[in-house]
Chains A and B, each alone.
Chain A
């Protein structure tokens, strides 16, 4: 049943929508919320409460009605009071066992006396039985159900910028937006409702001006999810997040109307007066036929007008105040509505089955003696407000409790943050407009647009909020927190048990921890605490207001899920050659190249053999590639690497190891000197980004005369290695290939400018060829073509790992860990302690004075080792104690033995020593320490002159 068309109503009567709730068909209109359509369809029980499964209806109709959470198909916890109705929706209540009609959880209410606050802390913890109880608890908790079939939703995000962001488009927000825009500011105006105007109604002149203003962007159906540093406010729209960076923020978020606390104050039909107004004006619903209005402020009497116009019979007004202002009392007298001043509702009386309120019992505040029972099917409460201040708190606003308006108001606002309207303690409609103008003008001025207008905002003369809208009842069920089903006694009992600090009370009783985050419960809870401890609300204070203002879907937060994958310029070549990929940080690298009919290890061994006997080519473009120039470039490298570079000759390279300040090995690479003041150097693939960042930090700190450029993505790199490599390269380059081992030359390869580094990582004659990334593929192709005659094969990371292991070269991060020093990793030769300074030097000095913890050694398993071979990270065990671990191990096709690297006790590090490795199943394997390199111990093959 709907009222006749209301001016400015939100429903579109020409667009009826059908939907289902709890299996039954209903109809509403476009513009309805789920809750309004259901209420109009005669459904007043929208859900059951969290703990006792009590029937609940509409309380706020303002996105705080956690008891009206619903399951909409696969979407859990849909807020019926704020979710727009859509055709074909299939909804059920979330917190029922069975259906809403026959909820097996209803019996929990009978046990209420057994379930005092924190009852679950007080029992159920016998070691034997807890798992059973826990299973039961887990079955009973939770709200909506996750649907595992839901696909990943990819929601766009965008960045937004504005001068003044106004949060809230009620009277004060509209006024602020207009004032700021008129002064020249670029304004963004945000409101969570579908239409502008806040609690006011219809299209006012102000709204028209705001809508028409060219400098105001309007975001409706959008909430400001939180305030983050430097005016960074994510705006959550239905299908998107706009991350708004404002130069100033005006919080005009209004206030949440607060419920009164009396017995059975949760019965369907009992709601906030503002909720009733919304139902009437927006959705043309008469929320009840005969109501009692519980009042304590002027707002109640203003709302009365709406109720009467909607044809609601107002049976009585119960006013908590002893003295009702005459103009307010006159409203009632005119219409013959009885007024009970200085009275409270002590109890609401339920209709059969608790599905609706059937009446109220009232009493004088002073005597608490019941004076009357009034029959009604609705109770509309207008007893006070709590500021919607989370954004202000998050911004760092100091708030104070104002006794004049009985609420927290901003005391000291951070720079660039402004507040106006109800959140600022200004409630009178005309004053809210002025307060908005003041704040909007000041915010624009803060952004450099005009000067702040001196606007005088009259102070409130009467408090819109009653200081104690709470009535104890011996039988309880006077709810303070509707999300969590907490009664007055629960809080009092928590306080009695010593939880007499607002944060402790919250954590013990769970008040304010539900999905509405205490929007309708925190204020009353802190009043209860203040009264119980003889304190004041101001001294009690509030709990921390953390994001989010309303919960935000993970899909919105995640956005499109951008996970970039890096590919080298030769990626397509690898793919065409059958590469199997392995991730290396953000990069994809060929693990090996599959050959039809061959196993993984056969493929890898084939690649190894190609390098050892012929020629191979590997893409090493994922290495970090940095360039440093400047008069103090050499000095810089001296400081960040453990070896010396000042004396490195132009045209030569040198292995480079980096330590952190604790002397722990963190990276390695090769430094090439191209000129006195110009070096090109590499880092590990995994360390590239971090090392560049760290070096930039050092460079900033030391202020040396040099600059670092990260060329990792700009350069392609490949290593051509093997006895036939020189022959392959000879026809493609203008560089004289007789340049020595460890030298660097610049020239061209296949007509492309290139840097050639003679390196020996894989232990054969080899050249690392670095070319601009855009020519990488062409050079690769040229090398592969030239190599065809020599049987060239591309080789992957696995083959390279094996080749380097045969040479005993370490991989940082695999053969080192978070504590490995250069000495332990057998890199003593690289450490030049006689430099004036390098990062980690002091630590290494201290470490050098102590006995070595462990030593990295090469090892072999006995020839003909049958059985299982150790794996990396199997432990070295001596006399039942852990003395080390295997870091690398593999079957060497070249040596036809299992070889590896392991940390052992230093006294076991001499070649020929034996040690035991324990396998996963506990079996022990004996290994023998072998001098490295395992292959070509004198490095003759890689050093071989051209």
Chain B
């Protein structure tokens, strides 16, 4: 039993302060307004205050902290991407992740479990090799392994996958990890709050004022704010916020669903992903199987669940793990993924001066949370795109300098 829990036993009152200060009103002006109180927005606020000394910052959140995709993803963290831009970026993110619990003094349950992307076809095996070679080039642990290695890591798997999708090999990424997603938002939120950032929940942005091509203010349901800098980090709501400043983007919104089983005793250590079967799975510290699949194939701005999702995913789960037949699915949910044509995010400065975008994260924003905070805070503070994000700027679509991450998407999209 760690000693630090002793104070709870010895104290009559719960010896913990509020993590997030309550602010009754918005101030009339801030140096920076961050729209979106998810992991990305809060991380940017945290690093703005910690690394750049900019503390007159407010984070506006329509709902509650981490209630968007931060709290809806399947918490996988990895850096085995396909493009040099992606690999460098996510590698930095993984590095930050590893120290985050210590930075926050908050246990994020950052758990290094190893990540297998299963290949069921020779085409998938080819792509695995491509990713492995690019990853190794940048010093990232990533290799193509045979089915026997998969069997060793998950001895109970049916390597034939029900006989119709035999596992031919896998891309193995040792640093693959999971973390407690909500706690990431809380950790960044608390850290930002301690440094003077104001976090306003239940505060909806209704409009953004732009004059002469520059941001001048933000209108909310709780009053208007004047500011010269706005960072937009709102995932599935990105197109709606971009409309407020008149910026066009190629982002389109697809639902991404997930589900979780009742807790069972831990039996699965690694994270497994199968592109052909559209499955990703890990087992949480609570014993729940956390399962996801590919994007819904249609565009819709909704977080409603559909029944074909647990049907199809369960079927593929049982292909891999037939013995889960009696395990019950407890809950399903959905998030809105802001997809871009090249599956890479859109980050950095925009044609509107003082308006910065952190969006287009599609299905994998969670793992980028720390590095997004780092790079976007730099970009906002210096009004200059951070070196790590120059491949992700909005103008790449106009200039046809796409950053092709399609091949690295966990499952078929």
Q: Which residues of A contact B (CB under 8 A)?
A: 74-77, 111, 113-116, 119-127, 130-131, 134, 137-139, 141-153, 226, 228-229, 232, 234, 243, 394, 489, 492-493, 496-501, 503-504, 507-508, 515, 517, 544, 546-548, 551-555, 557-559, 561-563, 565, 582-583, 661-663, 813-814, 817-819, 843, 846-847, 850, 871-875, 882, 885, 918, 920
Contact = CB atoms under 8 A, between A and B. Distances in A.
Interface string B248-292: 000000000000011111110000000000000000011100000
A496 B310 contact: no
A153 B265 contact: no
Given A141-B286, A142-B287, A127 B1 contact: no
Contacts of A145: 264-265
B402 A875 contact: no
Given A116-B14, A119-B8, A554 B329 contact: yes
Interface string B19-47: 11110000000000000000000000000
B325 A553 contact: yes
Given A150-B323, A662-B341, A563 B162 contact: yes
B186 interface: yes
B211 interface: no
Interface in B289-347: 304-307, 310-311, 313-315, 317-319, 322-333, 341-343
A561 B106 contact: no
A138 B327 contact: no
Contacts of B287: 138, 141-143
Contacts of A847: 400
Contact of A141 (B1, B65, B285): B285
Q: Top 5 closest A-B pairs, CB basis?
A: A142-B287, A818-B406, A152-B322, A551-B328, A557-B314
B315 A557 contact: yes
Contacts of B84: 882
Contacts, number: 293
Contacts of B333: 544, 546
B67 interface: yes
A873 B328 contact: no
Interface in B183-233: 183, 186, 190, 201-202
B126 interface: yes
Interface of B: 1-2, 4-6, 8-9, 14, 16-22, 63-67, 71, 84, 98-99, 101-102, 105-112, 120-123, 126-127, 129-130, 132-134, 137, 144, 156, 162, 164-165, 180, 182-183, 186, 190, 201-202, 261-267, 285-287, 304-307, 310-311, 313-315, 317-319, 322-333, 341-343, 399-402, 404, 406-407
A517 B330 contact: yes
7 contacts: A76-B265, A139-B266, A143-B262, A546-B333, A551-B329, A559-B315, A662-B342
A558 B329 contact: no
B5 A920 contact: no
Contact of A552 (B98, B305, B329): B329
A547 B315 CA distance: 18
Contact of B307 (A243, A500, A553): A243
B358 to A, nearest CB: 23
Contacts of B133: 873-875, 885, 918, 920
Contacts of B399: 846, 850
A114 B6 contact: yes
B267 A123 contact: no
A152 B307 contact: no
A489 B9 CA distance: 13
A814 B18 contact: no
Contacts of A496: 14, 16, 18
A488 B9 CA distance: 16
A226 B315 CA distance: 19
A819 B86 CA distance: 15
Contact of A76 (B130, B201, B327): B327
Contact of B326 (A115, A116, A150): A150
Contacts of A121: 106-107, 180, 183, 186
A757 to B, nearest CB: 26
Nearest to B315: A558
Which of B134, B183, B327 has the most CB atoms of chain A within a 10 A radius of its CB?
B327
Contacts of B404: 817-819
Nearest to A66: B262
Given A123-B5, A152-B162, A583-B121, A555 B326 contact: yes
Contacts of B165: 583
Given A148-B323, A548-B332, 16 more contacts: A121-B107, A122-B16, A122-B107, A125-B105, A130-B101, A141-B265, A150-B324, A150-B326, A394-B305, A498-B22, A501-B64, A503-B63, A517-B331, A546-B305, A552-B329, A850-B401
Contacts of B310: 547, 552, 557
Contacts of B109: 120, 134
A779 to B, nearest CB: 29
B263 A515 contact: yes
Contacts of A843: 400
Contacts of A563: 162, 164, 315, 319
Given A76-B326, A558-B311, A551 B402 contact: no
Contacts of B121: 583
Nearest to B187: A121
B18 A561 contact: no
A131 B137 CA distance: 29
B325 A76 contact: no
Nearest to A129: B2
A497 B64 contact: no
Given A817-B407, A872-B129, A554 B107 contact: no
A492 B16 CA distance: 12
Contact of A554 (B6, B102, B108, B328): B328
A554 B330 contact: no
Nearest to B316: A558
B107 A124 contact: yes
B101 A515 contact: no
B323 A147 contact: yes
B375 to A, nearest CB: 22
B71 A134 contact: no
A142 B260 CA distance: 13
Contacts of B8: 113-116, 119
A489 B266 contact: no
A16 to B, nearest CB: 27
B4 A122 contact: yes
Nearest to B405: A818
Contacts of A148: 156, 267, 323
A77 B324 contact: no
Given A546-B333, A814-B123, A497 B325 contact: no
Nearest to A119: B5
Contact of B186 (A131, A508, A813): A508
B330 A548 contact: yes
A143 B265 contact: yes
Given A546-B333, A555-B325, A843-B400, A498 B407 contact: no
Given A153-B325, A558-B318, A882-B134, A123 B4 contact: yes
A563 B163 CA distance: 10
A147 B327 CA distance: 10
A819 B264 contact: no
B130 to A, nearest CB: 4
A555 B324 CA distance: 8
B5 A489 contact: no
Given A228-B307, A498-B20, A547 B331 contact: yes
A338 to B, nearest CB: 36
A554 B318 contact: yes
A1 to B, nearest CB: 33
Contacts of A554: 261, 314, 317-318, 324-329
Nearest to A516: B330
Contact of B330 (A137, A551, A813): A551
Which of B262, B287, B313 has the most CB atoms of chain A within a 10 A radius of its CB?
B262
Given A116-B8, A846-B400, A142 B263 contact: yes
Contacts of A507: 66, 71, 182
